[in-house]
Structure 1
Amino acid sequence: MPNTLPEILYEDNHILIVNKRAGDIVQGDKTGDMPLPDLLKNYLKEKYQKPGQVFLGVVHRLDRPVSGAIIFARTSKALTRLTKMVKAREIHKTYWALVNQLPTANEQKLVHFLRKNEKQNKSYVVKKESSGAKEAVLEYRLTASSRTIHLLEIDLFTGRHHQIRAQLAAIGCPIRGDVKYGEKRPNADGSICLHARKLSFSHPVTGETLNIEAKLPETPPWQHFQPL
């Protein structure tokens, strides 16, 4: 991913929200690619001519192949409050996903129990009584179809590792491009068709209600749904 800035969706003295691109990493990994927080720190340092270190706290994460809205905290106070809000499920997240397989129901609440395999960096659906099992809950709605591609809008009620990816795969609808969870073909750019579309929450300092929307990637097959 080139070291260019992603689209900035919201910025003030306390928080920064950007439209993460598939391929951006939120924390450093073995690839040695520049993490998104470092890129944004450089932007803030230059824009505001800040001497020394720039603070930017990671509030939540999106997997490397996932795109969409992500929040960073510009102060330690904002980070503390936002972290508490994440744990209390006070930040409402809506995702869009593209799947090739049409779900059996147009709208459904999914409840599974997931266990993460650290070695494989993958989550599996297991029985409730299994060791390490954590409840995972989401609701999806079929909102559009274009030939053999179907757009699901997903409300997330728990924040488990690879939750949407694992739960959709469990009902026979792996996300397009997600070969890790059973999709046959990868996307050419290494992405998966999962996008953090909307964030709704109260500003951690002012209390103002924020409704943030991240536009879709301009890559196939998202272009079929660009007018939405």
Structure 2
Amino acid sequence: MVKITILYEDNHLLLVEKPVNIPVQEDNSKDPDLLNLLKEDLKIRYQKPGNVYLGLVHRLDRPVGGAMVFAKTSKSASRLSDMMRRQVIDRNYLAVVQGKPFKNRGKLEHYQYKDRAENQVFVVDAKHPEAKKAILNYEVVATSNDLSLLSVTLQTGRPHQIRVQLAEIGHPLFGDQKYAQKTSKVGQQIALWAYPLSFEHPVKKEPVEVYSLPPQSYPWNLWQITGP
């Protein structure tokens, strides 16, 4: 059984630390997925008969780890999904990239197209028939050994967005086997982590904020990364 760290839980929400290299939901690999692992855990812990409800309201790429929120009721799922659409859930990430961006902070805007057959995302012209706008903000936190630690905040939630946009400006993520093949070595773990996750509780209307720290292994251990 995969050990999953619970960051926050009540009758409405379940916030956990997603382990790396586990899909969020079942895919063609048929490997154990986070959604079903959590459902099974809830069923055991609360001795629930039959199927357990757990709403998926956002995703992380399979190789990425960090904070995620799930809904334990359909009402909270609906409200969280609406909050995602309105972009009032703060989703922030830590990313280690190759080199150092020219500007210490900036806003990236691109148009992306996803080739679903290849599970690959490309930056395209705005006139592309399937183009979707992707926007993020970044700030350089520290640099070391020709690597930079960035804090990234999403304004949109496109597939592979952070990975593709940072690669597009010449600073691909450390260990990204898909979008940084020239600079990453086979077997390296991508250095992208969902760090703090904060929002207003969809039912209680009080602040919810959790922190999930990346592992103390290279390249994360080049810096002292702490919580609040």
TM over 0.5: yes
1:9 is paired with a residue whose SS is: strand
TM-score w.r.t. length of structure 2: 0.94
Identity %: 44
Determine whether 1:112 maps to 2:130. no
Deviation for aligned residue 1:226: 4.1
Consecutive unaligned residues of structure 1, counting only runs of 5 or more, are: none
1:140 is paired with a residue whose SS is: strand
Matches of residues 76-115 of structure 1 in structure 2 within 5 Å? 76-115=74-113
The equivalent of 2:37 in structure 1 is 39
Instruction: List, as ranges, runs of 4+ consecutive aligned residues in structure 1 with deviation greater than 4 Å.
Output: none
Consecutive unaligned residues of structure 2, counting only runs of 5 or more, are: none
**How well do the aligned residues superpose, as a CA RMSD in angstroms?**
1.4
Determine whether 1:185 maps to 2:184. yes
Is residue 5–residue 40 contact of structure 1 (8 Å, CA) maintained in 2? no
Judged with a 3 Å threshold, the aligned counterparts in structure 2 of structure 1 residues 4 and 117 are, in CA distance, closer, same or farther, namely: same
Matches of residues 1-228 of structure 1 in structure 2 within 5 Å? 3-183=1-181, 184-186=183-185, 188=187, 191-228=189-226
Deviation for aligned residue 1:73: 0.7
Is residue 110–residue 133 contact of structure 2 (8 Å, CA) maintained in 1? yes
After superposition, give the CA deviation of every residue in 1:55-80 in whole Å (9 maximum; x if it has no partner): 11111110100111111111111111
**In 1: Cα distance, 2:75 partner to 2:8 partner:** 18
Is residue 141–residue 151 contact of structure 2 (8 Å, CA) maintained in 1? yes
**In 1: Cα distance, 2:68 partner to 2:193 partner:** 11
**In 2: Cα distance, 1:146 partner to 1:43 partner:** 40
Count of aligned pairs between the two proteins: 225
Judged with a 3 Å threshold, the aligned counterparts in structure 2 of structure 1 residues 143 and 13 are, in CA distance, closer, same or farther, namely: same
